[in-house]
Amino acid sequence: MAQANRERWDLGGTQMETLLTEVARFKGESLWQDAWRRLKANRASWWALVFLAVFGSVSILAPVLPLPSPTAIDLQIEPQPPVAPWTELGNDGYRREYWDLNALDEGLVSLRQSVFGDWQFSNWLGTDAKGRDILSRIIWGSRTSILVAIAATICSLLIGVSYGATSGFLGGRIDNLMMRIVDVLYSIPFIFVVIFLITIVNEYRTELEDNWGINREVVFYVVIGAIYWLTMARVVRGQVLSLRETEFVEAARVVGASSARIIFVHLVPNVLSIVIVYLTLTIPAVMLFEAFLSFLGLGIEPPKVSWGLLAVDGAEVINPVRIYWWLIVFPAAAMGSTLLALNVLGDGLRDALDPKLRGKD
Amino acid sequence: MATALDVRDLSVRFDTQHGNVQAVDSVSFIIEEGETLGLVGESGSGKSVSSLAVMGLIPSPPGVVTADAILLGDRDLTSLNAEALRKVRGKEVAMVFQDPMTSLNPLLTVGRQLTEVLEVHEGLSQREAYQRAARGLGDVGIPAPEDRLAAYPHELSGGMRQRVMIAMALLCNPKVLIADEPSTALDVTIQAQILELMKELQERHGTAILLITHDLGVVAGMSDRVNVMYAGRIVETADTAPLFDAPCHPYTQGLLGSIPDLTGVAGEDLYSIPGQPPDLAELPPGCAFAPRCERARDECTAAVPATLEPAADRLSACLDAELLAREGGAR
């Protein structure tokens, strides 16, 4: 092959050798691989990522772990304090009581029963006033909170990126109009919008659920997502605005690529690094928002658990006579550490994806 | 020989807040198949804008493009709508840019970008497209092209990237290749290779090349005919050899005189055309070059000089064209 090339293009010997050595050391490294390497070198972000991965797996695997039921009520006089695992690892008091789980989770719970039988962990983190296990509630609650966060973030991502990229790419009057719409939406206090939408949805909830299969939670995701796309759209639009003047976009036009193609094949991958960084900051914001709405009674409804509802339970028992600290400390610690990890990861991702920005805010 | 591209009376104006800028003013040229036409001029003389106008890529607003006709083969590009024009771009008219460092998308592999042309225009399957792309890379002298398809632009040198750009431009066998300063951003040895490559590919495919450059050396080596542009107008048109032998426009004379000469005395100032190119928003009346011209007289500023034919097969927009032609012939 090399010989054939040499004859064919009549390149000088040394010239060809240089080219061939260039080929030899050649193994495509994309910007993503490069970023991944840099992320691994950043110790704080790496541990944040590990923490999130472990926490995420535990959360996904919740139904198969030998946790007590998060909803099985055992009416007692007062919340039970934590039992250290080394004094009592577990007992045989498991009761299969959940809210309406989907088929997959039902299956997983059955799997748990066939493996562990009635054995369950003791109340390592104590119980609440109704005798429900806090550890189990935190882990099951994390599923709800993480799901809301991810679903709402994806929703905001889809709307924000397409809106922002289109606006920035088209430019001129259309861009102006689209951005003014964003400004108007920004100026509406969105907590009212959420309360308004959720109230309306409550009004028609049976209808929606029967006819469209839309339950309150789906609406919840979409509503939060529909609010958080605004900043995403602005960020993406700003990036696209500078990218569309670059020569490779001109080159794509010259090749005959359509506008949609230029936006989604050439521009969007180039803004992804910023979008990803922004995502890791949106997820915690959405989580907090979910907790806030659930706290107000507008979000997730009992018997389901979410971190917001746990905070409600915790806040209820704070009184001057006797403080059941485990009701507030453990849920808060779980939520706080997750949010911290997400923020640290976001910071590390920004450094990894855009080395030029390192050390700046 | 058939005509590949025939541009008649092309004008481009940009309506900006600071006034209307006449970037290109009644430019006409013809490129035969397999021929190279050089478009020479200073920065801002309208070379690139004319080529973008041919491709239909002048953003409007603020750009206003008018032309009697832009004939590609026997089709008039001015009569096509945006969608039809998009199908022409890349397939029948292709373009190579000045800076290969920025004209490839840094996030897509070379293969992905090469196959894009084929995907857009020929609807080939991925497999076929990649095979064609590999062959295209081989044709521009890139060794082990199959491996290179997986490369990202940042892994290639400038010369390599320019080869990739040329390969991309030629994948669909276009009738016309517009090369906008294809060698300016490269170092001299690579420049020579790239120009040599373009010539070779032109011979093989019979592509017509519109070579935009401000490097007269490149023009001398590459083109068959030359158009000299100044302030949006073509001031002189001639075959390459006669143009260099006997320029019939003072501006061309000035350009040729500005080329540093190895025989010059050390420490002596190099020749340059006095003055500055005019502001395109406020062109001087008459000949745009008159304020910088040694031969300028009242007539020159009265009206835009008509295009004369001072010798066979050459045009010049100077009142003294015939005089200059005689002087040149005598020399």
Enumerate domains of chain A plus CATH numbers.
39-357 (1.10.3720.10)
Neighbours of A204 (CB within 10 A): 12
Cross-chain CB nearest to A19 (options B55, B103, B143): B143
CB contact, 8 Å: A38 with chain B? no
Burial class (CB in 10 A: 0-12, 13-18, 19+), B331: exposed
Say if residue B235's pLDDT is above 90: no
Provide the domain count of chain B: 2
**B130 shares a domain with B250:** no
**B251 shares a domain with B208:** no
**B86 shares a domain with B35:** yes
**B330 shares a domain with B200:** no
Q: Confirm whether B271 is domain-assigned.
A: no
User: Would you place residue B69 in the very low, low, confident or very high pLDDT band (cuts 50, 70, 90)?
Assistant: confident
| A256/B150 touch (CB, cutoff 8 Å), yes or no | no
**B307 shares a domain with B217:** no
| A253/B57 touch (CB, cutoff 8 Å), yes or no | yes
**B145 shares a domain with B90:** yes
Segment B151-203, tens digit of pLDDT: 888 888 888 888 888 888 888 888 889 988 888 777 888 888 888 888 888 88
Q: Confirm whether B127 is domain-assigned.
A: yes
DSSP state of A79: P
Q: Confirm whether B46 is domain-assigned.
A: yes
- Most B CBs within 10 A among A255, A267, A268, hence the mutation to make, goes to A255
Which CATH number do you get for residue B114? 3.40.50.300
**B221 shares a domain with B152:** yes
| A253/B103 touch (CB, cutoff 8 Å), yes or no | no
Q: Confirm whether B146 is domain-assigned.
A: yes
**How far apart are the C-alpha atoms of B117 and A256, rounded to whole Å?**
7
pLDDT in tens, chain A (361 residues): 445 544 555 555 566 666 566 555 555 566 677 778 888 888 888 999 999 999 999 988 888 887 787 877 777 667 777 777 777 777 777 777 777 777 788 888 888 888 877 777 777 887 777 778 888 888 888 888 888 888 888 888 889 999 999 999 888 889 999 999 999 988 888 778 777 877 777 777 777 667 776 666 777 777 777 778 888 899 899 989 888 888 888 888 888 888 888 888 888 888 887 888 888 888 888 888 888 888 777 777 777 888 888 887 887 777 777 778 888 888 888 889 998 998 898 888 878 876 665 554 4
**B61 shares a domain with B203:** yes
Q: Confirm whether B30 is domain-assigned.
A: yes
Burial letters for A16-25: b for 16+ Cβ neighbours within 10 Å, e otherwise? beebeebbee
**CB contact at 8 A, B21 and B44:** no
Segment B286-320, tens digit of pLDDT: 888 888 888 878 878 877 888 888 777 888 888 87
> What is the pairing mode between strands A120-121 and B3-16?
unpaired
**B204 shares a domain with B62:** yes
Which residues of chain A are within 8 Å of residue B99 when distances are taken between CB atoms?
Answer: 247
Cross-chain CB nearest to A248 (options B95, B105, B141): B105
**Alpha carbon distances (Å) from A337 to A146, A226, A299:** 13, 27, 22
| B141/A256 touch (CB, cutoff 8 Å), yes or no | no
CA of B204 to nearest chain A CA: how many angstroms apart? 13
DSSP state of B213: E
Range of the domain at B157: 3-229
Which residues of chain A are within 8 Å of residue B143 when distances are taken between CB atoms?
Answer: 2, 5, 16, 19-20, 23
**How far apart are the C-alpha atoms of B29 and B69, rounded to whole Å?**
11
Q: Confirm whether B16 is domain-assigned.
A: yes
**B251 shares a domain with B193:** no
| A256/B57 touch (CB, cutoff 8 Å), yes or no | no
**B126 shares a domain with B34:** yes
**How far apart are the C-alpha atoms of B143 and B147, rounded to whole Å?**
9
Question: Which of B273, B237, B230 is CA-nearest to residue B253?
Answer: B273
Question: Which of A283, A305, A279, A285 is CA-nearest to residue A294?
Answer: A305
CB contact, 8 Å: A4 with chain B? no
pLDDT at A1: 44
| A172/B61 touch (CB, cutoff 8 Å), yes or no | yes
Structure tokens at B56: 């239909």
Q: Confirm whether B234 is domain-assigned.
A: no
| B97/A251 touch (CB, cutoff 8 Å), yes or no | yes
Mind giving me the DSSP string for A153-208? HHHHHHHHHHHHHHHHHH-HHHHHHHHHHHHHHHHS-HHHHHHHHHHHHHHTHHHH
Which residues of chain A are within 8 Å of residue B89 when distances are taken between CB atoms?
Answer: 253-256
Taking CB atoms and an 8 Å cut-off, how many pairs form between chains A and B?
Answer: 96
DSSP H or E run through B233: strand B233-239
Segment B242-263, tens digit of pLDDT: 888 888 888 888 888 888 777 7
pLDDT at A15: 64
pLDDT at A29: 62
| B103/A270 touch (CB, cutoff 8 Å), yes or no | no
Interface of A with B in 280-339 (CB under 8 A): none
CA of A276 to nearest chain B CA: how many angstroms apart? 15
| B88/A31 touch (CB, cutoff 8 Å), yes or no | no
Residue B133 has, within 13 A of its CA and on its CB side, a CA count of 28
CB contact, 8 Å: A172 with chain B? yes
Which residues of chain A are within 8 Å of residue B54 when distances are taken between CB atoms?
Answer: none
Which position has the token pair 């990202």?
B152
Contacts of B131 (CB under 8 A, 6+ apart): none
CA of A277 to nearest chain B CA: how many angstroms apart? 17
| A30/B121 touch (CB, cutoff 8 Å), yes or no | no
Q: Confirm whether B41 is domain-assigned.
A: yes
pLDDT at A26: 52
**B203 shares a domain with B254:** no
Cross-chain CB nearest to A28 (options B97, B116, B150): B150
Provide, for chain B, the percentages of residues in helix, strand and coil under a 3-state DSSP scheme, each rounded to the nearest 5: 35, 25, 40
| Interface residue ranges in chain B relative to chain A, Cβ cutoff 8 Å | 55, 57, 61, 86-91, 94-95, 97, 99, 102-109, 116-117, 120-121, 138, 141, 143-144, 147-148, 150-152, 155, 157, 160, 165, 168
Query: Could you tell me which residues are beta bridge partners of residue B230?
Result: B233
> What is the pairing mode between strands B176-180 and B93-96?
parallel
Omega within 30 of 0 (cis) for the link into A79: no
Cross-chain CB nearest to B95 (options A26, A172, A254): A254
pLDDT at A361: 47
How many angstroms separate the most distant Cα atoms in chain A? 93
pLDDT at B25: 86
pLDDT at A358: 52
| A248/B147 touch (CB, cutoff 8 Å), yes or no | no
